[in-house]
Structure 1
Amino acid sequence: MNQQKQTIVHVITNFAGVGGAEMMLARLIQQTQDQYAHVIIALMKTSDVYAETLVQCQSYYALGWNGLNTLGTIAKLRHLLKSIAPKTVQCWMYHANVLTSLSCIGLSSKPKIFWGIHHSLASPKEESLSTKIALVMSKVLAQQPSGVIYCAHSSLQQHQSFGLNNNNAQVIANGVFLDMFQPNPELHEPCVIGFAGRYHTAKGYPYLFATMAQLKDQPIIFKIAGSGASLNHPEVKALFEQYQLDESKVHLLDQISDMPAFYQSIDAFLMTSITEGFPNVLVEAMASGLPCISTDVGDAKYIVDELGSIVPPRDPEVLAKAILDYVKLSQTEKLQLKQATRARVEQNFSIASVSQQYMQMWSKNA
């Protein structure tokens, strides 16, 4: 006789964009659908981007929250949780955390609620008004959930410093499907350094270009992927011209859809961000056998460990030196690094091991 699967309800602020929390939720459902029946409640909306995930769910709902209808949304959420009556609710992101906790106040049979925080809090003053309100509410309600899951150690420390305290706080990193990313057994000649990130202040594009300018006389090719990484973007074009870079050595690829192929086309990965939480891109790169040269932001140091270089943000000279140090390694040393970076991800960041940690959290506190 088939044992009925336990239902896990996931409440997420929005299940429409391609963000770290949304992608992690999709991967988690795909990995654990044999053990649990999953229900998704998106406060705002769902999207066809996640059609494959939604099909794998027992049911899903979109409540059309827009800020102005907050009380009505809480009432809808409360009604749904009463009718589904799950033992466990996993929340994803601030607003989902807060509205779920509010919707369960006074329920006769309360589910175990776990908050999920997938955000870096380096500068609370710079957050939007909506996020600031959610943060203040989070501080007030933080003792209510059975646990709080952070995707990054840096995020846990920042939120605890802010005053968001819960006795059962745990870090569970974002995971990747290992079979999606495979190391390329070959090394390129000349050496190819890759960067992936949309054109945004957080990604440190001015420092990226200043770093490439320091190395333009070296036998190195740079491949730059990400929305806006194109000479059609006026600010990128201005940086390109300011440093008199060469299109044969700096390949601006704009947004690309096949990231695994991109990682296979490079030898090492560069991240110049000035702020991050848990940079998924470093885990994907390392799963692809790429040593990483990264700024010391978010959980970069924890992810890269000893298998690359961690340098201070906003310092092109140090970034350039770290790249040169890698380029000068022998072929044998580079191939050994390839194997070691892949092994680190297999041990720490596979979706299988990450899912196991979520399931342990749910069952331990069930």
Structure 2
Amino acid sequence: MKIVQIIIGLGVGGAEHMLRRLVLAQQVAEPARQCTVISLTSIGPVGKLLQEAGIPVIAMGLHAPWGFFTGLWRLKKTLEALKPDVVQTWMVQADLLGGLAARWAGIRGVIWGIRTTDFGGASRLTRVVRRVCAVLSSWVPHTIVCAAEASRRSHVAIGYDDARMVVIPNGFDIQRFCPDADKKKTLRAQLGIRPQDHVIGHVGRWNLAKDHLNFVHAAARWAAQNDITHVRFLMVGREVDASNDDLAQAIAESGCAGQFMLLGERSDVPDLLQAMDLFCLSSRTEGFPNVVGEAMATGVPCVVTDVGDAAMMVGSTGWVVPKEDAEALSAALALATQESRIEREKRAALARMRVVQEFSMERATLRFTQLQQWVAEKTQAGVERCVD
């Protein structure tokens, strides 16, 4: 089979890394499968990683909305030259441009990719593109893949064709994300964390959707009622550092400023997860939060807000609280730290087992591979609708 993957860009992000993991996993599983990745903008760091692994990457260099028609024509000509059996697109702009170019080039095997759940933070242009995609969803794509059940529901609500939708959750590298007691001990020592400290981690770039202040306010409520000198709050992410005035002020007013450790953006998040005893997702909106799966695979139980598919991911292995409710989040964090060592170890093992059984990269790769094969067969047979 020949597959072309189209994405808006190949910078550092959840969709970009999922695409990379999928392509590389399929390359190992089926060396004869030919895959080309097209970035509508630039190569980016993820594109360079793909190239280093021997995957052809084409950068279209499109950066302005008014270049849409020129880009559409160039993309059509590129697809005509590549002659793929299936074109798979990632995120709404690539869905529109890649889907139209593929159909114009006579390629019926189009798979759209939806990852967003909440539309509140989207630009006006993105909202317009999404509405156009909703109208075209009954004709352009053969199948629409959602990364989360919550994403499917939100897009059906604005007019996407539900009959063409399937849900394939992200897959996690269970070899890369796995418990390592020696690494945990070493990292905690390097960070100046005492053996008796209970480390609660928070990972995510500074963004309203991630609701970092909910996490800080929960810590403040907890500290106001209890002695939490044995607890450390480890926060990681772009702009999550002392130079962030809003975050620094909230922490200074929390009553437990000395318990916070702000590491900013780091490239060693898989290692930093090892240092945590508990992970907290405090977001007000999510789709399929990768970091929760990564923490669980590392054997770190999670306290999550009930957003996107977070509750489904955690299942009975962690704690789920309403979003934007610092009081409930504080209570859950306190409850989690009160468990005995044996209870914590059992919960950690269950969290990892859930990821291994339900959300491994192997399982996700198999589902995508089967879908691509199925779409190729159906479109070659003239079946234009997702009917199975």
Q: Does 1:8 align with 2:3?
A: yes
> C-alpha distance in 1, partners of 2:242/2:97?
43
- Residue 116 of structure 1 corresponds to 113
- Residue 135 of structure 2 corresponds to 140
- Residue 88 of structure 2 corresponds to 90
Aligned runs of 1:169-318 on 2, under 5 Å?
A: 169-185=165-181, 188-216=195-223, 217-218=227-228, 219-247=230-258, 249-318=259-328
Q: 1:78 to 1:166 in 2, by over 3 A?
A: farther
Decide whether the 8 Å contact of 1:193 with 1:266 is kept in 2: yes
Paired AA for residue 160 in structure 2 = L
Q: 1:122 to 1:102 in 2, by over 3 A?
A: closer
**Structure 1 SS opposite 2:175:** helix
Decide whether the 8 Å contact of 2:145 with 2:166 is kept in 1: yes
Decide whether the 8 Å contact of 2:87 with 2:111 is kept in 1: yes
Moved more, 290-299 or 192-201: 192-201
Q: Does 1:168 align with 2:164?
A: yes
- Residue 79 of structure 1 corresponds to 77
Aligned runs of 1:60-75 on 2, under 5 Å?
A: 60-65=57-62, 66-75=64-73
Offset of residue 92 of structure 1: 0.7
Paired AA for residue 26 in structure 2 = T
Residue segments in structure 2 that go unaligned for 5+ positions in a row: 186-194, 377-388
- Residue 50 of structure 1 corresponds to 47
Q: TM-score, normalised by structure 1?
A: 0.93
- Residue 156 of structure 1 corresponds to 152
**Structure 2 SS opposite 1:286:** helix
- Residue 191 of structure 2 corresponds to none
Q: Does 1:41 align with 2:51?
A: no
Paired AA for residue 66 in structure 2 = L
> C-alpha distance in 1, partners of 2:115/2:271?
27
- Residue 22 of structure 1 corresponds to 16
Offset of residue 175 of structure 1: 1.3
**Structure 2 SS opposite 1:91:** strand
Q: TM-score, normalised by structure 2?
A: 0.88
Q: 1:100 to 1:231 in 2, by over 3 A?
A: closer
Decide whether the 8 Å contact of 1:212 with 1:320 is kept in 2: yes
Paired AA for residue 140 in structure 1 = V
Q: 1:335 to 1:105 in 2, by over 3 A?
A: closer
> C-alpha distance in 2, partners of 1:325/1:347?
27
> C-alpha distance in 2, partners of 1:234/1:22?
30
Among the aligned pairs, what percent are the same residue?
29
Cα-to-partner distance string for 1:298-328 (whole Å, 9 max, x where unaligned) = 1101111111110001111111111111111
Decide whether the 8 Å contact of 2:284 with 2:323 is kept in 1: yes
Offset of residue 254 of structure 1: 1.5
Cα-to-partner distance string for 1:217-248 (whole Å, 9 max, x where unaligned) = 2232211111222222211221122223232x
Offset of residue 57 of structure 1: 4.9
Decide whether the 8 Å contact of 1:174 with 1:278 is kept in 2: yes
Residue segments in structure 1 that go unaligned for 5+ positions in a row: 1-5
> C-alpha distance in 1, partners of 2:104/2:90?
22
Paired AA for residue 23 in structure 1 = H
**Structure 2 SS opposite 1:167:** helix
Q: 1:335 to 1:58 in 2, by over 3 A?
A: closer
Offset of residue 128 of structure 1: 0.9
> C-alpha distance in 2, partners of 1:57/1:161?
40
CA RMSD of aligned residues (A): 1.7
Offset of residue 101 of structure 1: 2.4
Offset of residue 91 of structure 1: 0.7
**Structure 2 SS opposite 1:230:** coil
Decide whether the 8 Å contact of 1:289 with 1:338 is kept in 2: yes
**Structure 2 SS opposite 1:293:** strand
Paired AA for residue 284 in structure 2 = I
- Residue 3 of structure 1 corresponds to none
Moved more, 155-164 or 216-225: 216-225
Q: 1:246 to 1:106 in 2, by over 3 A?
A: closer
Cα-to-partner distance string for 1:167-222 (whole Å, 9 max, x where unaligned) = 23111111121111121447952221111112221111221111111233223221
* Over 3 Å off, 4+ runs: 55-58, 104-107, 184-188
